[in-house]
Amino acid sequence: MIHYETKKVVTMPRASILTSENVARAASELLAQGKPVTNAAVHELVGGGSMSTLAPLLRAWREEQRKVTREEIEVPDAVMEQLRDLAMRLWREATEEAQAATDALRRDMTDMRTEAERQYAELLDDLRGVEAERDAAKDMLEQVKASLAELEAEKSSLSEELNKLQAEQSALQERCGMLEAAKIEADDRATRADDRLTEFFRRMRAETGGADPGTGNPGGSGEGKRSPKSRG
C-alpha cells in the first residue's frame, strides 16, 4: 500500500498595497489625465486591495484637495499695482512696435507699387513705339507692292520703256526686300517687347498675390496688355 505524504503550505501575509500614498498617487494621475477619479478607477490603477480600505483613503484625498483649492494667496495691493503698470507698459510698447512695423510695411508696399507702375508705363511706351514702327513699315510695303503692280501692268503697253522699267523694277524689288527685312526686325522687336510685358505681369502677379498692377484686379486684364501680334 502506497502512502502519500502531504505538506502544509504556509501563506505569508502580503503587505497591503492600499496605502494613503498609493491611493493619492493614483488619484492624482487620473486627475492629470482628465479622467474621473472613482473608487473603481483608483482600485484598478493601484492594482487591487480591499474596496472597504480604499474608500476612506480616497475620501481623505478628496478632502485634502478641497482644502488646497480653498486656500487663497493674498497678493499685496502694491504688488498688484506694479503688475498692472508692467502689463500696461508692455502692452503699450508692443502696440507701438506693431504700429511701426505696419507703417514700414505700408511704405514699402507703396514704393513697390509706384516702381511697378513706372516700369509698366515704360514698357507700354516701348511697345507702342515698336507697334508704330511696324505699322509704318507695313504701310510702306503696301505702297511698294502697289507701285510694283502698276509697273507690271504698264510693261506690256510700254515696250519702248521696257529696259527702263525693268531697271526700276529691280530697284523696287531690292527696296521691297529691305522693307521685308525691316518688317521682320520690327515684328521681332514687337515680339520681344510683348514677352517682356508678359514676364512683367507674371512677376507682378506673383509679388502682389495675383493683383493687376495699376488696377488692383486679380488676374489682370488691364488696357495695354494686348499682344503686338494681334494688332498686326
Prediction pTM value: 0.27
**Domain assignments of the chain as residue spans, ordered by start:** 20-69, 112-231
Give tens-digit pLDDT for 145-172.
Answer: 888 888 777 766 767 777 777 788 888 8
Q: Give the confidence band of 173 by pLDDT, cuts at 50, 70, 90.
A: confident
| Average pLDDT score, the chain | 80
Query: Helices marked H in the chain — which ranges?
Result: 20-32, 39-46, 51-70, 77-155, 162-207, 228-231
Tell me what pLDDT residue 71 has: 55
Q: Is the pLDDT of residue 1 over 70?
A: no
Task: State the average pLDDT over residues 83-104.
Answer: 90
Is 194 within 8 Å of 228 (Cβ atoms)? yes
Q: Tell me what percent of the residues of the chain surpass a pLDDT of 90.
A: 33
Query: Terminal CA-to-CA distance of the chain, rounded, Å?
Result: 128
Give tens-digit pLDDT for 22-73.
Answer: 999 999 999 899 999 999 999 999 988 888 999 999 999 999 888 776 555 5
